[in-house]
Structure 1
Amino acid sequence: MCHDGSCEHGAAARPAADGHDGAGVLDRRRLLMAAAAGTALTLAPVSFTPARAAAGTPKGTPADGDVTRTVTGHLETGAADFVYLPVEVPKGVQKIAVEYSYDKPSVPAGTPANSCDIGVFDQRGTKLGGKGFRGWSGGFRTAFEISATEATPGYLPGPVESGTWHIVLGPYQVAPQGLNYQVKITLTYGAPGAPFKPNYPPTKAKGRGHAWYRGDGHLHTVYSDGKRLPSEVAAGARQAGLDFMVSTDHNTSSSHAVWGEYADQDLLIITGEEVTTRNGHWLALGLPAGEWIDWRYRSRDDAFGRFTRQVHRSGGLVVPAHPYCPYIASQWKFGYDGADAVEVWNGPWTYDDESAVDTWDAGLAEAVRTGGRWLPAMGNSDAHSEPQVIGLPHNVVYADDLTTGAIMNGIRAGRNWIAESASVQLTFSATAAGRRAGIAETLTARADAPLDVRLEVSGVPNGTVRFITDEGQMHQESLPASGTGTVVWRTTTSLAAYVRAEVRHPMADGGPGQGNTMGPALVWGPMAALTNPIFLKRA
């Protein structure tokens, strides 16, 4: 993909008498060729009058005040992923403001309608993974502003330096009729205000040493497409009984700079990003505050590995999110090389999650067979706004302490289980010949030695406990109405290479659970808790 300004230009902008720039209709064949090649499209630049200097500048040029230019254009179906509108920003500008709109014609049922995102890069350029990123709001906002002192949520405050800025349109859905757009750019001339001072959260809170810590690793605020303020998200995390949370606004690091105000010794706030590509979403967890990860690529562009390495160099984790989400551009297409964990449970339990767990479980069996790396499971709420519940679900992570590094290490090692709420408690272990192993650990025993798998659980009234191995479900047992119980199952290392536990709610209507054609209906319903495996090895 071309992101450095060297792509083919569209029709030249023609200044009109009313101060508008008419971009014209882009050549359909060139546009389709650009999309097929995976390239971006760069339009003709928009220029502004330089600010009036102290002396020697012609009269009529602005010193203070606003100047506006408007660009209109049309994109055909098959448009490039990203359309760049260069804006020549002169010296003496203290604020840039952008508004945009696009038409939404009626489309036949089952046909994608027009949807177009927006963002901006500054004079440092649009190179993939470069330093020019200044903000992204996707389709959540129709306008934004940037100055040295402040910026619209999703955007990074800082000086409006002279040079070529690029407004980015992301037409991820284009109707058969095409997409007509309008972009209005307003520059405000004058002296810059006081510089913005970021307030990043600390990387340590008051922990309990080696302990299990609860946290939600996928949360959104008004800094991307959420409707909760950071203060409301932090309050929701505390109300859910969490020890930590991760901020993962889409495609921007802008919220990192405000979280320090809401962190305290009782809540570790970890900075991250949800990287939203055209072929799936992934979580970059544990990023250094202020670090941004690029999203402008598809699986065919062979760029994913570059950015997973960037996250790993920073000590963070790469976690494919909701891999079976049916929405456009949300299903995971990059494979799992370079991933540190996978989000198998996203929000309230659905069939998307059933598919994710099944795929993850098959990967466990393959890792055992080949001796390769296994991928730990995570669960997160992905909460954006009411009534979505923060902490439904969340991770219970065994870590050395309540620090960003220790939590990341615990998840990376798979030392976590997933709970729908803080009311669910469990302990999962396997014992043989006086030895014991817990979640993500390996128990070695003779092939014929008796081995006991034990789950102690509370908080799931009338629930169903399932023990699952590389052979499938090997034991199922019901919990009493109190929701508290202990389930023990005996096996050997000759019969099971790993074992993991699920705790399910009963079906809400009392009917059958997940269907099958090989026997009686299954009676378990939505997930209440899910563990990573214990590995069983023959001595």
Structure 2
Amino acid sequence: MCLDGHCEHNAELLAPDATSTDAERSGEVGAGPGRRRLLTAGMAGAAALTLSPVSFAQAADGSAGGTAPTGGDETRIITGFLETGVADFVYLPVEVPEGVRKIAVSYAYDKPAVPAGTPGNSCDIGVFDERGTALGGRGFRGWSGGFRTSFEIGNSDATPGYLPGPVNAGTWHIVLGPYQVAPQGMHYQVQVTLTYGEPGPARVNKYPPRRAKGRGRDWYRGDCHLHTVHSDGKRLPSEVASGARAAGLDFIVSTDHNTPASHAVWGEYAGPDLLIIPGEEVTTRNGHWLALGLPPGEWIDWRYRSRDDAFGRFARQVHRGGGLVVPAHMYCAYVACQWKFGFEDADATEVWTGPWTYDDEHAVSTWDQKLGEAVRTGGRWLPAMGNSDAHSDPQVIGLPHNVVHADDLATDSLMEGIRAGRNWIAESSTVELAFTATGHGRQAGIGEKLNVPAEAPVDVRLDVRGVPNGTVRFITDEGQMHQESVGSSGSGTVVWRTTASLAAYVRAEVRHPMPDGSPGQGNTMGQALMFGPMAALTNPVFLEATPAPRS
């Protein structure tokens, strides 16, 4: 699955424009400290490289800072070279004069042949306005990763992924993200065009409401990891909303990479039957994480590595807004996707992403290990989530999704349900499940704790529908303790008895039969797995032994 465009980049090196001056083509990195080079490292974020500025609106004598044209366009072309090992982010300052209506940027870079197994050139792009590039600052105006080769920003409109608004005078910064550089280096070209004139009317933002009609306290289905054309998805927001309704979902979370640009359009597609929650997939060099339940329009910075000690700062930003921090696809094989920040600041973790693969098998195993650690230490446990990460056809919206027990179909209620682990994961809305533990006259459900005498019998019960010939597994802190199949109807009830002395928690899985090679099974690993692909997965019910009464 393509993540932030990192498995497909379309930018190719453009031929230098014949009107470019030598100064405009002097962006070499590694050519000495006097030539477009200012390295800033060890700050509160990843190392950055700032090139010398590009000026517009030249005065009659050729010096910068002259009177801006009253209309028309003005273009500069900048070329340069980046060496292997260049800083994570390369900033190109652009001095924007007064009277600019629109800024347009395009870029390209070469892709020389590299030996097998050696990364080739790949470079992202975005922009910050005159308010600056400070980590977590106010200057962010857009990001498209490697998905686009050009963008435009004006007061009334902007390319998807970018924020419309005034093109104010001052120093803007085009940011290049060369996350892979071939041994031969990377030749790049950036073209910047300013259009002068009146700015036009401001865009009217249409943020989605924080509550839909709902059914009161109930189980609600939602996919919390989805992409649109505002990052590297190919679906329009309208198509994502339509797909969510077709999948039988009650809510979705919008998580475009590194930008809140789509937040302002979702209000048009939300409704009484579909709650749309703003979010972001924060795409760092050491893993991706979901910021769920953001205030509309809020942006979360991504320009840091685990060694920069900045992740906690942005996790706190999300928490202040009532949102959740969720590491995504922790074992994804693509560059920069593997999770390196730990789980101390996380509220939940994504253990199932899209069609079931070995990555998910490994993620569930790691999550289960974390459950055991929490039981042993008495610490906080980490709930599991599952999401589609759908970008475009044929990726299926809602495969999988979360079924959350919440007080209402409202952002705050759903975030609280997920934070408490009152959710289970389903591959589709055709799968239904109920999971409880009953003992000593008490009952607890998913994400809850059952307090019983240590030796009191506890009956663990799973009711399931929609998984023909499925296999039910009950797993405790000791591992799998019970396995039972349901019939071809796909419906069944499985009951297993234990005690709090034998099981600190019990969680359930429902698996499809082992794949037989036919398409659509979802398991790409064939016979490498002991069980077939997942159909449903629950968070645990915890069993806690109450102290024996004193004689």
Is TM (by shorter chain) over 0.5?
yes
Query: Match of 1:154?
Result: 161
TM-score, normalised to structure 1's length? 0.92
* Shift of residue 62, structure 1, vs aligned partner: 1.8
1:433 matched to 2:440: yes
Greater Cα offset, 433-442 or 303-312: 433-442
* Equivalent position to 1:102, from 94, 109, 123: 109
Q: 2:26 aligns with which of 23, 26, 48?
A: 23
Verify: 1:308 aligned to 2:311, yes or no. Answer: no
Structure 1 outlier segments of 4+, above 3 Å? 15-20, 28-38, 520-523
Q: Partners in 2 of 1:135 and 1:33 — Cα distance?
A: 23
- 3-state SS of the aligned residue for 1:358? helix
Which residue identity lines up with residue 45 of structure 1 in the other structure? P
**Structure 1 equivalent of residue 54 of structure 2:** 46
Instruction: Confirm or deny: 8 A CA contact 1:514 1:524 kept in the other structure.
Output: no
Q: Deviations over 1:197-245 (max 9, x none)?
A: 1100000100000000000000000000000000000000000000000
1:26 Cα shift? 1.6
Output the CA distance in 2 between the equivalents of 1:447 and 1:51. 85
**Identical-pair percentage:** 74
| Matching of residues 242-261 of structure 1 within 5 Å | 242-261=249-268
2:349 matches 1:346: no
Spell out the pairing of 1:227-238 with structure 2 (5 A cutoff). 227-238=234-245
Cα distance between partner residues in 2 of 1:295 and 1:523:
38
Once the two structures are superposed, the pairs formed by residues 150-299 of structure 1 within 5 Å of their partners are: 150-299=157-306
Tell me if the contact between 2:100 and 2:197 (Cα under 8 Å) persists in the aligned partners: yes
1:32–1:80 contact (8 Å) kept in structure 2: no
Distance 1:74 1:368, change over 3 A: same
Q: Which amino acid in 2 is paired with 1:354? A: E
Aligned equivalents of 2:536 and 2:20: distance in 1?
62
Superposed, 1:61-80 pairs within 5 Å as 62-80=69-87
Change (3 A) 1:421 1:343: same
1:463 maps to amino acid:
G
How far residue 432 of structure 1 moved from its aligned partner, in angstroms, is 0.5
Question: Can you list the C-alpha shifts for 1:24-75, whole angstroms capped at 9, x where unaligned?
Answer: 42227878986799420000000001699xxxx989x621000000000000
Residues 1:384 and 2:391 aligned together:
yes
CA distance in 2, matches of 1:36, 1:306: 16
Change (3 A) 1:445 1:164: same
Does 2:121 match 1:114?
Answer: yes
- Are 2:464 and 1:461 aligned? no
Shift of the 443–63 alpha-carbon distance from structure 1 to 2, 3 Å rule, reads same
Q: Are positions 1:487 and 2:494 aligned together?
A: yes
- Where in structure 2 are the equivalents of 1:329-368 lying within 5 Å? 329-368=336-375
* Contact 2:287 2:340 (C-alpha < 8 Å) held by counterparts: yes
Following superposition, the deviation at residue 449 of structure 1 comes to 1.1
- The runs of 5 or more residues in structure 1 that have no matched partner are 1-14
Residue 218 of structure 1 aligns to a residue whose secondary structure is: strand
Which of 416, 434, 437 lines up with 2:423 in the alignment?
416
Gaps of at least 5 residues in structure 2 are: 1-16, 547-551
What displacement does 1:22 show? 1.2
Cα pair distance change 1:204/1:120, threshold 3 Å? same
Cα deviation, residue 448, structure 1: 1.3
| Pairing partner for 2:333 from 326, 336, 339 | 326
One-letter amino acid of the counterpart of residue 183, structure 2: P
The residue identity in structure 2 corresponding to 1:42 is T
Instruction: Determine the C-alpha separation between the residues in 2 that align with 1:514 and 1:386.
Output: 18
Q: Separation in 2 of the partners of 1:385 and 1:372? A: 39
